[in-house]
């Protein structure tokens, strides 16, 4: 068991190292990076299916926030560059692997939605390769990856059960508009509960995760009540939508970082604005510009 949890297994995987695999796994591991999710999820939400897009962000963020707490709880070190090759720089603790856990949760949800067998096989291959990349690149022990798989699978099963049983995003579609106008309980709760959670555990990571989550929930609520845009459109319109959406999201993510004070709270604010932009303001622009299939 020790062989599969320590340096020996990393050395075994890295014994197949060459320049091609070095580059290949550096790119494969990006499928578990924040920037991939920030590009992929808006494309699904704005161009294909709103509910699947919102479910994807829910699965990703639940996995991310739980992984942040678990890493701080277990407090384990990453492999030493003195004992194995470390091909990329990673900060923070090791167990469980966020990439492995996130891949199981995120691509596992997609696997539950797709019907074609070749797509299911491809998603399983992606989960496996993203996980293997963390060992090959020397940033995780095998036990970190195995732990990420187990925790990710548990989160996946629980979330699949919850969205099937309660259909939260569909519920927001039927939310009473009159009640919403005269009693601001729901939007107040949407903003205050995540903010309280953040203030209890105010770190840079929780500022990112909880900030964008609260912005997305509030934005999706407003969108379903006041906008109700259709994500379907002609191909050139889809391209325009994504260019605008991602460009502004990048300005919010990077530009506001240079303007606002560098604190955990303003990280929360920055990501809150980004979530609100992607789920409410951009859909409102799409609706007003008449960029929808009739």
| pLDDT tens-digit map of 38-75 | 889 999 999 998 888 988 988 998 898 899 889 988 88
pLDDT of 185 reads 58
pLDDT at 17 over 60: yes
**Cα separation of 25 and 9, whole Å?**
17
**Cα separation of 161 and 168, whole Å?**
12
Residue keyed to tokens 């949890």: 5
| pLDDT tens-digit map of 152-210 | 999 999 999 888 776 666 655 555 555 444 445 556 666 677 777 777 777 777 788 88
pLDDT of 239 reads 93
| pLDDT tens-digit map of 72-89 | 888 888 888 888 888 888
Structure tokens that stand for 115 in this block: 């019907």
pLDDT of 195 reads 74
Distances (CA, A) of 16 to 93, 159, 191, 235: 26, 37, 50, 42
Please name which of 124, 125, 221 lies closest in space to residue 180, comparing C-alpha atoms.
Answer: 221
pLDDT of 187 reads 60
Angle, in degrees to the nearest 10, between helices 185-200 and 204-222: 170
pLDDT at 112 over 50: yes
pLDDT of 278 reads 92
**Cα separation of 206 and 185, whole Å?**
24
**Cα separation of 27 and 241, whole Å?**
26
pLDDT of 182 reads 43
Structure tokens that stand for 280 in this block: 């409410």
Q: Where along the chain do its domains lie?
A: 1-169, 177-294
pLDDT of 134 reads 92
Residue 3 DSSP one-character state: T
| pLDDT tens-digit map of 220-267 | 888 888 888 889 888 999 999 999 999 999 999 888 888 888 888 888
pLDDT of 209 reads 82
pLDDT of 179 reads 47
**Cα separation of 117 and 43, whole Å?**
23
Structure tokens that stand for 216 in this block: 């997305």
Percent of the chain residues topping a pLDDT of 90: 40
pLDDT of 294 reads 64
| pLDDT tens-digit map of 133-145 | 999 998 999 999 9
């Amino acid at each position: 068991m020790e062989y599969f949890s320590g340096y020996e297994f990393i050395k075994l995987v890295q014994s197949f190292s060459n320049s091609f695999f070095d580059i290949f796994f550096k790119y494969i591991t990006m499928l578990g990076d924040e920037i991939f999710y920030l590009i992929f999820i808006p494309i699904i939400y704005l161009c294909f299916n709103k509910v699947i897009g919102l479910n994807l962000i829910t699965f990703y963020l639940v996995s991310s926030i739980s992984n942040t707490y678990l890493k701080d709880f277990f407090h384990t070190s990453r492999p030493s560059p003195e004992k194995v090759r470390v091909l990329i720089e990673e900060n923070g603790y090791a167990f469980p692997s966020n990439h492995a856990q996130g891949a199981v949760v995120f691509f596992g949800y997609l696997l539950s939605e797709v019907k074609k067998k070749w797509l299911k096989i491809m998603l399983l291959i992606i989960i496996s390769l993203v996980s293997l990349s963390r060992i090959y690149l020397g940033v995780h022990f095998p036990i970190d990856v195995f732990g990420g798989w187990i925790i990710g699978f548990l989160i996946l099963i629980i979330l699949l059960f919850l969205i099937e049983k309660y259909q939260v995003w569909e519920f927001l579609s039927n939310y009473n508009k009159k009640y919403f106008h005269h009693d601001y309980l729901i939007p107040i709760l949407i903003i205050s509960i995540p903010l309280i959670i953040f203030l209890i555990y105010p770190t840079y990571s929780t500022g990112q995760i909880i900030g964008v989550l609260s912005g997305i929930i509030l934005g999706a609520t407003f969108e379903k009540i006041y906008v109700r845009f259709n994500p379907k459109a002609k191909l050139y319109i889809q391209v325009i939508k994504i260019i605008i959406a991602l460009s502004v999201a990048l300005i919010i993510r990077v530009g506001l970082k240079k303007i606002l004070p560098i604190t955990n709270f303003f990280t929360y604010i920055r990501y809150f604005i980004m979530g609100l932009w992607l789920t409410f303001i951009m859909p409102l622009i799409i609706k007003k510009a008449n960029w929808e299939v009739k």
